[in-house]
Amino acid sequence: MSSLYEQLGGEPTIELLVTKFYHRVLADPMLAPMFDGIDPDRLEQHQRRFLAVALGGPNAYQGRDLTSAHAHIARRHGLSDLHFDAVLKHLAATLRALNADESAIAQVMTIAESTRSMVLGRSAQAAVA
């Protein structure tokens, strides 16, 4: 059986997904301030690598665990479930815009939801071992 990464179209799709996803996120007035001062190219590169691993693709992710990576946003902007839900909404909308299968979208959303505690700093467990 192929991985979710492969089902979605592999590297080209993940690259397009991340680019379009951040267009949506950065256009969201609630979320955009959280990315002030962050290099968007570097952010997208990390997100592409992280998603590849999370969706069963190649492991080239060398970033920090999710708790550490989001700690400064949590401190500076009060990162909350409201923000996380907005990000999930943009992720699902982006996948739908790319004509992803609803079953694949549901699987991606389950994986994304599984990171909530780590992103919001409720767990020190690393997301990628």
Q: What is the mean pLDDT of residues 116-128?
A: 69
Task: Compute the C-alpha angle 57/121/119, nearest 5°.
Answer: 30
* Residue 62 or 87, more confident: 87
Residue 129 has pLDDT above 60, yes or no: no
Q: What is the pLDDT of residue 125?
A: 46
The superfamily (CATH) of domain 9-119 is: Globins (1.10.490.10)
Q: Which band of pLDDT confidence, cut at 50, 70 and 90, is reported for residue 93?
A: very high
Please check if 23 is assigned to a binding site.
Answer: no
Q: Which two tokens stand for residue 96?
A: 């739908």
Residue 13 has pLDDT above 80, yes or no: yes
Largest CA distance in the chain: 43
What does the domain layout of the chain look like in residue ranges? 9-119
Burial class (CB in 10 A: 0-12, 13-18, 19+), 9: middle
Out of 37-46, 54-63, 86-95, 101-110, least confident range: 54-63
The one-letter code for the residue type at 122 is R
Please check if 46 is assigned to a binding site.
Answer: yes
Phi, psi of 94 (to 5 degrees): -65, -45
CB atoms under 10 Å from CB of 8, counted, come to 24
* Residue 77 or 53, more confident: 53
Q: What is the pLDDT of residue 123?
A: 66
Percent of the chain with pLDDT over 90: 58
